[in-house]
Amino acid sequence: MQLRSDVKKKIDKDQEKAKARFDKNRKKPKSYSVGDLVRIERTVVNKEHQGKSKKLIPKLQGPYRIVKILPNDRFVVEDTPLTRKGNKRYENIIAIDKIHPWLNFNDYSSDDDNEMDSNENDKEE
């Protein structure tokens, strides 16, 4: 019985180490809200590409709009007029690891714009 408890302690310790190692480089998933435009990873290839090289097929498709936020980092997305094919509407549940932002202008701050304007003014003088 002692041997089993020692083995269990060793396994638990090794699992904690593995989790710490895995979480060390893991980043928090990006948060999305209802109405955001996103790209989704292509999981199914069209019949027209069957038997051909898939190397040059775009890996992401979009834009799609987030309609609803579900638990466990899942989202209901629907197509937009740009991605709609015919009269059929597309709506699907997508995991957060398959979603990427469509366009993101939040990374650019107004401070950078002011610095660029001041640099242009310096050049004119």
On the 0-12 / 13-18 / 19+ scale of CB atoms within 10 A, 38 is: buried
Are residues 91 and 77 in contact, defined by beta-carbon separation less than 8 angstroms?
yes
Identify whether 33 is part of a domain.
no
Range of the domain at 94: 54-99
Identify whether 21 is part of a domain.
no
- pLDDT, residue 106, reads 60
Mean pLDDT over the full length of the chain: 80
Identify whether 58 is part of a domain.
yes
Identify whether 117 is part of a domain.
no
- Cα separation, 94 vs 116, in Å, equals 40
* Entry pTM: 0.59
Classified as helix, coil or strand, 46 is coil
Identify whether 87 is part of a domain.
yes
Of 9-18, 50-59, 72-81, the range with the lowest mean pLDDT is: 50-59
Q: Which two tokens stand for residue 64?
A: 């799609």
Higher pLDDT, 3 or 28: 3
Identify whether 104 is part of a domain.
no
Identify whether 91 is part of a domain.
yes
- Total domains in the chain come to 1
Q: 95-112 pLDDT, tens per residue?
A: 988 898 987 666 555 554
- pLDDT, residue 83, reads 79
- At 49, which amino acid appears? H
Identify whether 63 is part of a domain.
yes
Q: What is the DSSP string of 55-121?
A: TTS-SEEEEEEEEEEETTTEEEEEE-TTT-BTTB--EEEEEGGGEEES---TTS-HHHHHHHHHHHH
Q: 16-29 pLDDT, tens per residue?
A: 999 999 988 877 87
